[in-house]
Amino acid sequence: MDVPLPTACVQAPDGTASPSDRGDGASASSKHLLEIRELAVRFRSDFGDRTVTDHISFHVDQGETLGIVGESGCGKSVTSLAIMRLLARNGRVEHGQVLFDGKDLLKMSRTSLDEVRGRDISMIFQDALASLDPVFTVGYQVTEAIRVHTEPDKQKARAIAVDMLRRVGLPDAEAAMKKYPFALSGGMRQRVMIAMALSCSPRLVIADEATTALDVTIQSQIMRMIEKIRVENNMSMILITHDIGLIAEMSDRVIVMYAGQIVEEADVFELFRNPLHPYTQLLIAATPGITDSEDRKLVAIRGSVPENYSDLTGCRFRDRCPFATEACAAPQAMREIRPGHFAKCRLAGTVTGKEGAK
Ligand SMILES: Nc1ncnc2c1ncn2[C@@H]1O[C@H](COP(=O)(O)OP(=O)(O)OP(=O)(O)O)[C@@H](O)[C@H]1O
Ligand SMILES: [Mg+2]
């Protein structure tokens, strides 16, 4: 690659591939577009090593949107960065597989991986200013991303870039092409990053808090626009956000993360109708709704996610759970409580967050 490209489309330093990699990521087969198997990510720090995602497994199918929710520090971003092999230098995948189309991204050579990233999988980050390169114009960055992955011809790539900027709602796309990122508003920059991430029609988009920094009106416009393009192109999406309402509106299936583990997984309707894990129940009960009646009481989940949870045994939520007993100190298995609805709690299905919140 001879030009510096924005982070939304290309690589960053990582340490997940070893020199002995076979190079093509050839691996066990998977019937899913993306399948994460037993992923464990470990970070080194001055305070010692710790595993922040604890052997998590999930999948995303073609055309499906998987929502990931959980409080701050639960491991949502680390999971998505590990998929893209964009972990910080002090992080590494210590166990697991990331199968995309049956090939393990963790075993791919850098060259093969660079082809997949941007073309097949792209990522929309929260902070567009940090992800766009300040010394290149918007036009240059979007055009180059297209040239590298889909259309080498400069004029054609430029035309696609202008069209994409229009589709993401930039009022004067031609003028925006000539601007540097700092000259655009936050909402416009976010649109540019989204245009870049979607310009190569990837099969999977990972949107990690893609609109959190924006005001609610722009947020909703941008999410609608992403959804339109996603549906038109039958793309899959991993939607990571704290916004439970957005998850409910846009996801087909949801996984709930707590302290580096998946604690619940279900179809979106099932999850919101019958949340089974006390953590999920409280998360939903803690979410305000615009149509709430005056007497609706919002619930606060006591305490916070433990800073260092890697050595905790048993249920990691138990110190905060209103239903916890001594039995919760034993390891909890993920169980299918209702068809397609899994929860990692021995009490799942027998309690409701409303009782605990009283
Ligand atoms: N480079 C790093 N070095 C050490 N620890 C890290 C590093 N990056 C992330 N972590 C730790 O991994 C855990 C999970 O972080 P992550 O960023 O995935 O949380 P998150 O669920 O995305 O939170 P948020 O909702 O705030 O974005 C946190 O405890 C965090 O401190
Ligand atoms: Mg995050």
pLDDT computed for residue 208 by the predictor: 93
pLDDT computed for residue 161 by the predictor: 94
Looking at the fold, whether 305 and 234 belong to one and the same domain comes out as: no
| Ligand 1 contact, 83 CB (< 6 A) | no
Looking at the fold, whether 237 and 302 belong to one and the same domain comes out as: no
Domain membership flag for residue 172: yes
| Ligand 1 contact, 196 CB (< 6 A) | no
Looking at the fold, whether 102 and 156 belong to one and the same domain comes out as: yes
Residues 85-129 have pLDDT tens digits of: 999 999 999 999 999 999 999 999 999 998 898 889 999 987 777
Looking at the fold, whether 198 and 285 belong to one and the same domain comes out as: no
For residue 155 the two structure tokens come to 């004029």
Looking at the fold, whether 49 and 148 belong to one and the same domain comes out as: yes
Measure the CA angle with vertex 16, ends 40 and 258; round to 5°: 25
Looking at the fold, whether 298 and 200 belong to one and the same domain comes out as: no
Looking at the fold, whether 197 and 125 belong to one and the same domain comes out as: yes
pLDDT computed for residue 81 by the predictor: 94
Looking at the fold, whether 158 and 48 belong to one and the same domain comes out as: yes
Distance 51 CA to ligand 1 centre (A): 11
Nearest CA to ligand 1 atom 7: 43
Domain membership flag for residue 191: yes
250: part of which helix (H) or strand (E)? helix 244-250
pLDDT computed for residue 225 by the predictor: 85
Domain membership flag for residue 43: yes
Domain membership flag for residue 303: yes
Domain membership flag for residue 137: yes
Distance 78 CA to ligand 1 centre (A): 6
Domain count for the chain, please give it. Answer: 2
Residues 277-327 have pLDDT tens digits of: 999 999 998 877 666 666 667 777 888 888 889 888 899 999 999 999 999
Please tell me the pTM assigned to this model. Answer: 0.88
pLDDT computed for residue 118 by the predictor: 82
Distance 72 CA to ligand 2 centre (A): 7
Looking at the fold, whether 91 and 171 belong to one and the same domain comes out as: yes
pLDDT computed for residue 256 by the predictor: 97
Domain membership flag for residue 265: no
Domain membership flag for residue 2: no
| Ligand 1 contact, 76 CB (< 6 A) | yes
C-alpha to C-alpha distance for 161 and 167, rounded to whole angstroms: 10
pLDDT under 50 in the chain at which residues? 1-22
For residue 358 the two structure tokens come to 């009283």
Q: Do residues 52 and 142 make contact, with C-beta atoms less than 8 angstroms apart?
A: no
| Ligand 1 contact, 180 CB (< 6 A) | no
Looking at the fold, whether 186 and 335 belong to one and the same domain comes out as: no
Atom of ligand 1 nearest to the CA of 78: 18
Nearest CA to ligand 1 atom 8: 78
Looking at the fold, whether 236 and 292 belong to one and the same domain comes out as: no
Looking at the fold, whether 242 and 301 belong to one and the same domain comes out as: no
- What are the C-alpha distances in Å from 5 to residues 8, 88, 299? 8, 18, 44
End of a domain among 211, 234, 250? 250
Domain of 148, CATH number, reads 3.40.50.300
Total residues belonging to the chain: 358
Domain that holds residue 215: 34-250
**Residue ranges with strand state E in 145-224:** 204-208
